[in-house]
Structure 1
Amino acid sequence: MTISSAHDGAVGSAVGGTLGTEAITGNPRETPARIRRWNRAIVIAAVAVIAVAGFAQRWIADDGLIYVRAVEQILAGNGPVFNVGERAESSTGTLWQWLLVLAGLIVPNVSLAAVYLGLACTAAAIAFGVTGAQRLHGSVTVPAGVVVVLMTPPMWDFATSGLETGFAFAWIAGSWWLLVRSRDTDCGLHWLALVLGLGPLVRPDLALVSIVFLVSLWLLHRPRLGATLRLVAAAGALPVAYQVFRMGYYGVLVPLPAISKEASTSYWERGLGYLADLFVTYWLWVPAAVVLLLGLRMRLTRADRILVFAPVVAGALSTTYVIKVGGDFMHGRMLLPGLLLVMLPFFCLPRPRKATLSALCLVLAATTAFCVLNPRPSYSPQIGEAGIADERAFYANSLGTWNPVSKQSYLDRFSDLADQVREARHELVFIGFSGEYHPLAPERTERVGTVWSTLGAAGTITPLSETVIDQIGLSYPLAAHLEPQPRGRVGHEKKLPNAWVLADYGVPTEETAAARRALSCGALAELQESVRAPLTWSRFVDNFLGAFGRTSLRIPENPVEAERRFCG
């Protein structure tokens, strides 16, 4: 492979940009050692800010506890499942789940590990972003886009949370940093391609970012056809291998939450509201626009233009996708990767003229002051009218502790519910339905089935050997495959009626006859077999071959209609 006419003096390209950056070579005070110390100080300060802010806001979300239970099942030898005996992929971030498995081999408290690993990953992302921007632009740089990211309050919350968000930040910024480093050499490109191809395993929607970054890698180095094919093979090796496993083991094409949340549908209006909920609440569009305006005015070499526009394009695509699907129910969370991407090449900018620098400082200082003094949306800590919640504030308020950093915080808060689950004897316990109890079917081997839509907490109060039944469908295939319901709160729009749960797990009754018959017929019976039958080689092949049709399968909410459809 050969590097394209490549660097074109890239280190000095930004120095003469239209920002008016003063050449430093003629200033004896701007020695290379001074520049290195200054740039290093920016990195340290930026990492310190996110580390302190993230630590102050440390917590684990209910959705973070979904990962914890899946990881604990793996460590207990039950496989990557949420419930023993049902193969359902409740973890959206595959690599994050397995990273927590490795952590769980070292430390006993997986929930604490999830919190602090998330913080470490977020801090690493900031370090990658700042050093990458400094390397890209060369010369003396000043912090710019990094301030916008650091002063966004949801960044403080999702620096931890137990979710894959911090790990996604680290992969995004680390991948871009590696791309910037590759500008100057063609060594190790196959390993770089492998890293860039991991997006779908970090989060399925980050496949968009992988594609943009891989195209950028090709544009930077223009390898021959044979080398290109080897890079494609390296990039696709792990995602393709895992996809084969997913299709054979789980019997579908995507993690179960993507089916439950109908991640391929469009709801632009609600998505735009979700965008406004972040960018208007904190007036982020003002500093972001100023940084973009300054950054895009720089004169750049061809290679540097690729490195600048790769994350900007990827960030625009990521944000557009989030808007398309209608946003999310967590305030700001799903927009943070897009914001990070768009700001990455401008985390630091070449030092502009004094007037421009003063204006930039004023805008960023005003943003910082506004976010620090007014850090929460008006509906916090409750759920807003649009169904969006300041999730961290909501759970801190509900659990009665500022830093709920482990599942013990949830166990303490829901100890009465944990007692109900512990005292049940071969029963279904419907939490949230006045303590309603129903006997389990004779063929069911578990002691208790906990029915509660707050899945992370339900998994916490229910032993690993017992069953959690999630009517929203994040871990329960039957519920995930319900037909789309009328629009409601994002991610909570499907809810499996009790009749289906009782038909699947309870003692047969006249009221559940239609649902029980539907469960025994056609594609619906095959769905049940795909996740509950013993995993033989034959079952793996059947799951793999049927994954496309099974992913698109949808079940009517009404059991009578379902019986008519599947049984004829």
Structure 2
Amino acid sequence: MAVAAVAVILVAGYARRWISDDGLIYVRAVEQILAGNGPVYNVGERAETSTGTLWQWLLTVVGFVLPDSLPQLAVYLGLAFTGAAFALGVTGAQRLHGGAPVPVGVVILLALSPMWDFATSGLETGLAFAWIAGGWWMLVHSRDSSRMSLSGIAFVLGLGPLVRPDLALVSIVFLIALWLLHRPSRKTTVGMLAVAGALPVAYQVFRMGYYGVLVPLPAISKEASGSHWLRGFSYFFDLFLTYGALIPVGIVLWVGLRRHFNRGDRILVFAPVIAGALSMLYVIKVGGDFMHGRMLLPGLLLLMLPFFCMPRPANPELMKWANAALIGWALLAAGLLRPIYAPFFGPMGVADERSHYVHANHVANPISKRDYVEAQEEKRGWVRTAQGQLVFALEKPRMEPLSPRRTERVALVWPVLGTAGALTTLDETVVDPIGLSYPLAAHLELTDRGGRVGHEKKLPRVWITADYGMPTKENEAARRALSCGALAELQESVRAPMTWERFVDNFLGSFSRTALRVPADPVAAERLFCGG
């Protein structure tokens, strides 16, 4: 059964292999590391664009060997991790249920086309799948194996925040489950917690001192601590109603959770279900995402893990009809059901991201930077011909002289960050007005939640010309605001040379700096930061 499940996801994932624009953001950050410029997106500005810390550094390790194939490495490594997740999930469920032969939950996941899409994509999603399934597999096997060290398991379970910050919720639930399964002594418990937190805490200290904030920059830009429940539920139903998945998922949970378990089995069943529910609740709370299904897939995997396969029911007739219904739904979902808005944006700004880029790039499987760059020939021409220019490559392109303070040949202003990074060299600057790589834009006040999820902030052009361009009467207030108070300190925290003193100042100021928000109106910002 494990072999069959892995074969299906590998074939489906390979057939729909691609790298997303956001996957190219990882590629640019890794290229900067390999070039000796540090974990940054632009040379000279310390901004953490990679929300998946482990994925970034894993790509760095493999990219050290094959640096010219980073996008393809990201695609196929993600596919391998996704295959591993299904193997671990099936074998873990078989161990839990005593060799249960009936595939159930695994069929639901395999039937969803977003699972095929995000088996690759160049993002950290495949690694997240493997960590979730692998952590649960270790919990299941820890009961019956004296060779598995509790500290070793705790170390793996503690990696959640480094896989993705929101997976800290899963780490907490899994670590509690590990403790409940084994009830170790107080000394052992303290040791397990120390081991589980060692790497995440060490990296958090580095993040605070190097970047000067508490979280990756996209979390600030997207206001990941905020709430937008209505949009979040819209995102939830965008996935579950599109494929009619609420009914099969609900039935599996209803049947699975009503079974009689001993104490240990109850922990192993409820831990991923609770973690999955919390994961989905968090995604709904923050307003979902702009990629169809993507952020809900880890939660759905968690919900289904204990029921990937289940024992045969006592009633053969019931089993026959249940299997027929599940297979019928799976064939319908896999073969016909897709978002009605693809390849364009839906009404809430959600997109079937893969079909969008396949359509935009005119490539069936876009897996390289070239696939994205060749679809942007005009913009590539602007970048090549610009010398000492601030290039606004938006709907109506324009160029303005760069400030004499700037040393780069060109600064490209374009919110499609991954593609913009592919269009430019590592020593050229990409100015991202929505703030995924540009700290000033990330700290902009969010006043309107009506835009595309995670893309609502748009730094006005006057701020960009004040920061990168020549002084003008128009940008005078913005230039003055940038030189005053907490805003000037924000600029220093990411642009001043990294010294021990700068690291300490960044670390100590990271709490207040994370909470800092800048009014979009330069005059209001000047009053706020300069006084008067």
TM-score above 0.5, yes or no: yes
Note if 1:78 corresponds to 2:41.
no
1:213–1:310 CA contact under 8 A, matched in 2: yes
Equivalent positions of 1:249-398 (< 5 A) are 249-353=210-314, 354-398=316-360
Q: Secondary structure at the match of 2:175?
A: helix
Partner in structure 1 of residue 382 of structure 2: 420
How far residue 140 of structure 1 moved from its aligned partner, in angstroms, is: 4.0
1:287–1:363 CA contact under 8 A, matched in 2: no
Q: TM-score, normalised by structure 2?
A: 0.98
Amino acid paired to 1:43: A
Partner in structure 2 of residue 94 of structure 1: 53
Note if 1:176 corresponds to 2:136.
yes
Equivalent positions of 1:440-455 (< 5 A) are 440-455=402-417
Amino acid paired to 2:28: R
Note if 1:562 corresponds to 2:525.
yes
How far apart, in 1, do the equivalents of 2:317 and 2:281 lie?
Answer: 35
How far residue 420 of structure 1 moved from its aligned partner, in angstroms, is: 1.0
Amino acid paired to 1:371: A
Q: Secondary structure at the match of 1:486?
A: coil
Note if 1:158 corresponds to 2:118.
yes
How far residue 418 of structure 1 moved from its aligned partner, in angstroms, is: 1.2
Q: Tell which structure's C-alpha radius of gyration is larger.
A: 1
How far apart, in 1, do the equivalents of 2:177 and 2:322 lie?
Answer: 30
How far apart, in 2, do the equivalents of 1:113 and 1:252 lie?
Answer: 30
Note if 1:411 corresponds to 2:373.
yes
Amino acid paired to 1:566: F
Note if 1:545 corresponds to 2:504.
no
1:290–1:360 CA contact under 8 A, matched in 2: no
Partner in structure 2 of residue 504 of structure 1: 467
How far apart, in 1, do the equivalents of 2:332 and 2:99 lie?
Answer: 31
Aligned residue among 1, 4, 14 for 1:55: 14
How far apart, in 1, do the equivalents of 2:447 and 2:294 lie?
Answer: 24
Q: Secondary structure at the match of 1:485?
A: coil
1:59–1:405 CA contact under 8 A, matched in 2: yes
How far residue 551 of structure 1 moved from its aligned partner, in angstroms, is: 0.2
Q: Secondary structure at the match of 1:109?
A: helix
Q: Secondary structure at the match of 1:429?
A: strand
Partner in structure 2 of residue 4 of structure 1: none
Amino acid paired to 1:168: A
Partner in structure 1 of residue 88 of structure 2: 128
Note if 1:193 corresponds to 2:154.
yes
Amino acid paired to 1:44: V
CA RMSD of aligned residues (A): 0.9
Note if 1:513 corresponds to 2:472.
no
Amino acid paired to 2:78: G
How far apart, in 1, do the equivalents of 2:292 and 2:328 lie?
Answer: 22
Q: Secondary structure at the match of 2:415?
A: coil
Amino acid paired to 2:439: P
Q: Secondary structure at the match of 1:414?
A: helix
How far apart, in 1, do the equivalents of 2:520 and 2:99 lie?
Answer: 62
How far apart, in 2, do the equivalents of 1:183 and 1:298 lie?
Answer: 20
How far residue 185 of structure 1 moved from its aligned partner, in angstroms, is: 3.4
Please list the CA deviations of residues 271-313 of structure 1 after superposition, one character each: whole Å capped at 9, or x if unmatched. 1111110001101011111211221122211001000000000
Aligned residue among 458, 461, 473 for 1:495: 458
How far apart, in 1, do the equivalents of 2:298 and 2:204 lie?
Answer: 23
How far residue 485 of structure 1 moved from its aligned partner, in angstroms, is: 2.5
Note if 1:221 corresponds to 2:191.
no
How far apart, in 1, do the equivalents of 2:343 and 2:387 lie?
Answer: 37
Q: Secondary structure at the match of 1:438?
A: strand
Partner in structure 1 of residue 444 of structure 2: 482
Amino acid paired to 2:264: A
Partner in structure 1 of residue 363 of structure 2: 401
2:393–2:414 CA contact under 8 A, matched in 1: yes
1:62–1:454 CA contact under 8 A, matched in 2: yes
* Structure 1 consecutive aligned stretches of length 4 or more whose deviation exceeds 4 Å: none
How far apart, in 1, do the equivalents of 2:26 and 2:183 lie?
Answer: 40
Structure 2: 5+ residue stretches without partners: none
2:256–2:307 CA contact under 8 A, matched in 1: yes
How far residue 555 of structure 1 moved from its aligned partner, in angstroms, is: 0.2
Q: Secondary structure at the match of 1:264?
A: coil
Q: TM-score, normalised by structure 1?
A: 0.92
How far residue 433 of structure 1 moved from its aligned partner, in angstroms, is: 4.1
Q: Secondary structure at the match of 1:211?
A: helix
2:93–2:100 CA contact under 8 A, matched in 1: no
How far apart, in 2, do the equivalents of 1:363 and 1:106 lie?
Answer: 48
How far residue 360 of structure 1 moved from its aligned partner, in angstroms, is: 2.4
Q: How many residues align?
A: 527
How far residue 383 of structure 1 moved from its aligned partner, in angstroms, is: 0.2
Q: Secondary structure at the match of 1:437?
A: strand
How far apart, in 2, do the equivalents of 1:511 and 1:331 lie?
Answer: 40
How far apart, in 1, do the equivalents of 2:104 and 2:144 lie?
Answer: 25
Please list the CA deviations of residues 381-411 of structure 1 after superposition, one character each: whole Å capped at 9, or x if unmatched. 1001111100000000000011001111011
Judge which range, 186-195 or 469-478, deviates more.
186-195
